[in-house]
Chain A
Amino acid sequence: MITIKDYVEGLFKDIPESKEKESVKTEIILNLEEKVQDLMDSGKSEEDAINKSIVEFGDVSEIKRELQGSASPAPKKNEKKINYKNNLWFSIWGSALIIGFLFFINYTTSWGHPWFVYPTFAVLWWPLAMVFAWLNHRKN
C-alpha cells in the first residue's frame, strides 16, 4: 500500500530542490495525513482513506508553477555567441592573403599562363559563405 509520504515525494520528484519546496512538501504531507486520519475516523479503511486523498489531490503542476516562479532563476542560455562580423573580416583577409600569395608565385614563375585564377575562385567561396552567414544572422 502506498503511503501519503511516498505519494507526495513522487509528485515533487522532478521539481528542483529548494527551501520552499521542502517546506511545502512537509506541509502537504502533514495536512494530507490529517485528512486520512479524519476519513478513517469517519469509518473508512486506511487504504480507502489514502486512495481518496490521492484522488482528490488534484494537479500538482499548479504548485510547480508557483514554486518555479519564485525559486529557480530563468534557465541559463549556454549557447556561445558567434561574432559574425569578425568571421567575415577574417575570411576576407585570409582569402586575400592566399590569393595574393598565389598571384605572387604565378607572377614570378610562369607569367605566361595565369593559373592563379582557378584556385582564386575556390578560395572566394569562403568569404562568400561568411557574407551570407552574416546576412542571415542580421535578418533574425
Chain B
Amino acid sequence: MISSDVIRGHLDAIILKLIIEKDRYGYEISKEISDRTSNAFEIKEATLYAVFQRLEKKLYIVSYSGEITHGRTRKYYKATAAGQSYFEEKLTEWQMIKNIIDTLLEEKK
C-alpha cells in the first residue's frame, strides 16, 4: 500500500472532491477510494476522520444526519461553496505540480 507524502499532501482535496460529487458518509468514502484506485491506495480510518475534522473546522464541509442503518443515523457530509472553491484552487495547483514533476523527472536527458 502506498503511503507517500505527495498523496498525504492532497488528501484534503481528494476527500473534498468525493464529497463535492455527492453527499457521502465516512465508510462510503474509504470504500470509494479503495475501489477507484483498485486497492493501490487505502485510506486509514484515523486519517479520514482527522481530515473530516479539519475540513469541517474550515467550513469546507458540513455534516448532517441522514439514512438510518441498524437503528442509528449515519453522518453525511456535504460540501459548501467555500469547499468548492478551495477544491478548484487545489486542483489547479495540482495540475501545475504534475506538469513540473513530469517535466523534471521524465522528459529529455
Residue of B26, B45, B53, B72 ringed by the most chain A CB atoms within 10 A? B45
Question: What CA separation (Å) do A61 and B25 show in the bound complex?
Answer: 21
Size category of the binding interface on chain B: 20 to 34
Whether A70 sits at the interface, judged by CB under 8 Å, is: yes
Question: What CA separation (Å) do A63 and B44 show in the bound complex?
Answer: 11
Question: What CA separation (Å) do A27 and B44 show in the bound complex?
Answer: 15
Stretch at the interface among A52-60, A122-130, A132-140: A52-60
Min CB distance B43 to A, Å, is 8
Question: Per-residue 0/1 for B25-48: is the Cβ within 8 Å of any A Cβ (1 yes, 0 no)?
Answer: 111001100000000001011110
Stretch at the interface among A28-36, A72-80, A97-105, A108-116: A28-36
Kindly list chain A residues whose C-beta atoms are within 8 Å of the C-beta of B25.
31
Contact flag A27-B26 (CB < 8 Å), given A59-B44, A59-B46, A65-B50? yes
Min CB distance B34 to A, Å, is 10
Whether B90 sits at the interface, judged by CB under 8 Å, is: no
User: In the bound complex, do residue B46 and residue A31 qualify as a contact, i.e. CB atoms below 8 Å apart?
Assistant: no
User: In the bound complex, do residue B53 and residue A56 qualify as a contact, i.e. CB atoms below 8 Å apart?
Assistant: no
Number of A interface residues in the complex (CB < 8 A) = 27
Closest residue of chain A to B54 (Cβ to Cβ) is: A66
Closest residue of chain A to B1 (Cβ to Cβ) is: A56
Of A26, A32, A57, A67, the contact of B53 (CB 8 Å cutoff): A67
| 29 pairs from A and B in contact (CB 8 Å cutoff) | A24-B49, A24-B53, A26-B72, A27-B26, A27-B75, A28-B26, A28-B49, A31-B27, A31-B45, A38-B31, A56-B44, A56-B45, A57-B45, A58-B44, A58-B45, A58-B46, A59-B44, A59-B46, A59-B47, A60-B46, A61-B46, A62-B47, A62-B50, A63-B50, A63-B53, A66-B53, A66-B54, A66-B57, A69-B57
Closest 9 CB pairs of A and B: A58-B44, A58-B46, A66-B53, A62-B50, A31-B27, A31-B26, A27-B75, A34-B27, A57-B45
